[in-house]
A = this chain, B = another copy of it.
């Protein structure tokens, strides 16, 4: 259902209107925006995801190229627009010229995730969208099965997260651990009950070397591992670390700063995968 639209005021383009403000939508449930995918790679991943796609919007040539390689549902509205019209609707010149909008969808149940996962990462207090996006990209690339959110984390479906994650936030399962601000860490017990070995990542030089923290006393890898990561700067709360089995560090040269959050996590994901060789 491909329709050419030349009027920037056409309400059929409302899903992609004013994109820089599109993450805050007081008119939608929870005040959060639609899921927005930009560029063919991420749009393709959105179409394969659990999120119900509402429309596809693009320049004629970009749509031609994309549709030649991708099957889309026959009833999906496809709006063909000029670069000028899209710039006026979206609020800036979007050179990639292809985007899609989808509704949010319920998260999978924690129990469902835990039943099959072997490695999960748990984030606490991570408010930075770029870090969350990179975390999903690294998690997907390095075989992490799910991302779990403790308190104080930014919205994983924020437009920038979707972009930085290269669409992996649409594919890698994630869920929010429930609980009030002071007690979300109790849900970590659910992970322990499901057989996960809980590992806090910390720059503390007194912590165990990451390589040692991911294997048991016989040097065998723990069958299920949950890696906890806190925000850059404050790190994990003591409350969260106390709920874990071990505190692990990535060795750092003296007098240097800790690594970027998503980079630290990538190193931990690598070591986890390495322990399973």
Contact = CB atoms under 8 A, between A and B. Distances in A.
Nearest to A271: B270
A164 to B, nearest CB: 10
A143 interface: yes
B142 A257 contact: no
A108 interface: no
Contact of A142 (B140, B168, B252, B262): B252
B253 A143 contact: yes
Nearest to A253: B143
A176 B277 CA distance: 37
A141 B266 contact: no
A24 interface: no
Given A140-B256, A256-B168, A270 B267 contact: yes
Counting every copy of the chain, the complex holds 2
Given A270-B270, A273-B251, A257 B211 contact: no
A257 B166 contact: yes
Contacts of A189: none
Interface string A244-277: 0000001111001111101100110011011001
Nearest to A166: B257
Contact of A140 (B253, B267, B274): B253
A15 B210 CA distance: 45
Contacts of A138: 259, 263
A229 to B, nearest CB: 14
A270 B257 contact: no
Given A141-B258, A251-B270, A263-B266, 12 more contacts: A134-B263, A137-B257, A137-B259, A137-B260, A140-B256, A141-B253, A166-B257, A168-B256, A250-B270, A259-B266, A266-B267, A270-B271
12 contacts: A140-B253, A140-B256, A141-B258, A142-B251, A142-B252, A211-B277, A251-B270, A259-B266, A263-B266, A266-B266, A267-B270, A270-B270
Q: Which 7 A-B pairs have the closest CB atoms?
A: A141-B256, A143-B253, A267-B270, A263-B266, A140-B256, A141-B252, A263-B263
